[in-house]
Structure 1
Amino acid sequence: MHHMTAEMQACIDECLRCHSTCLGMAMNHCLEAGGKHVEPEHFRLMLACAEMCQTSANFMLIGTRHHKHTCRECAEICEECARSCEQVGGMDDCVQACRRCAESCRKMAA
């Protein structure tokens, strides 16, 4: 039987929040703002981050030990996305969501 710890539930919440924030900002904020907000590398990274966060949350909800792998990758992508959003500017919500998710995922991957 898979036991859902409070730490894992917190990580799922962070992943889902980050997924929602990245996808929402990419599709609403970035597409509307244009310019450097929609440069391919940045835009793809935001979508990849949202996707990875969703996958990590799903793996934890499924209860497979493979969540350690998805969480490790998720932390890496979230950090990269946070840096990219910082460079683009005006994306503090995304930066904060990514950093919180990365921190939480690093703990789950350990």
Structure 2
Amino acid sequence: MHHLSDEMKACVDNCLACYRECLLMAMGHCLEMGGKHTEPQHFKLMMACAEICRTSAHFMLIGSEHHKHVCGQCAEICAQCAEDCERVGDMESCVGACRRCAESCTKMAA
């Protein structure tokens, strides 16, 4: 059995929290708000962000040495998603979750 460092456990938690936040925010808030909240580019970015977060957590949990590559991509997508959610507005919880995930995935990718 492989052991997760505290830093990796925190990253897994941040990834799963971001996955949950992006999905809930997109499927609830964004669909209800419409307008710029459902612009294809924004909505696809949120879906991509949710999925890469879930994938990053999965790679760390299974102990794959490839987690560094996935976390690097995750950090990039989360940073982009945070920026876009900020642009759209009224999405602070999503912005925060994305930023926390980007920060911990950047550490994991190093």
State the TM bucket, normalised to the shorter chain.
over 0.9
| 5+ long unaligned stretches in structure 1 | none
Take 1:109 and 1:43, find their aligned partners in 2: how far apart are those partners? 26
For residue 25 of structure 2, give the secondary structure of its aligned residue in structure 1: helix
Matches within 5 A, 1:21-100: 21-100=21-100
TM-score between the two structures when normalised by the length of structure 1: 0.98
1:8 aligns to what?
Answer: 8
| 5+ long unaligned stretches in structure 2 | none
Runs (4+) of structure 1 exceeding 4 A deviation are: none
TM-score between the two structures when normalised by the length of structure 2: 0.98
When the two chains are superposed, the root-mean-square deviation of aligned CA atoms in Å is: 0.6
Take 2:58 and 2:64, find their aligned partners in 1: how far apart are those partners? 10
Counterpart code for 1:83: E
Take 1:74 and 1:59, find their aligned partners in 2: how far apart are those partners? 12
Counterpart code for 2:72: R
Take 1:3 and 1:19, find their aligned partners in 2: how far apart are those partners? 23
Give the Å deviation of 1:26.
0.2
Take 2:92 and 2:57, find their aligned partners in 1: how far apart are those partners? 22
Give the Å deviation of 1:19.
0.2
Counterpart code for 2:66: H
Q: CA-to-partner distance for each residue in 1:19-54, whole Å, 9 max, x for gaps?
A: 000000000000000000000000000000000000
Take 1:44 and 1:21, find their aligned partners in 2: how far apart are those partners? 15
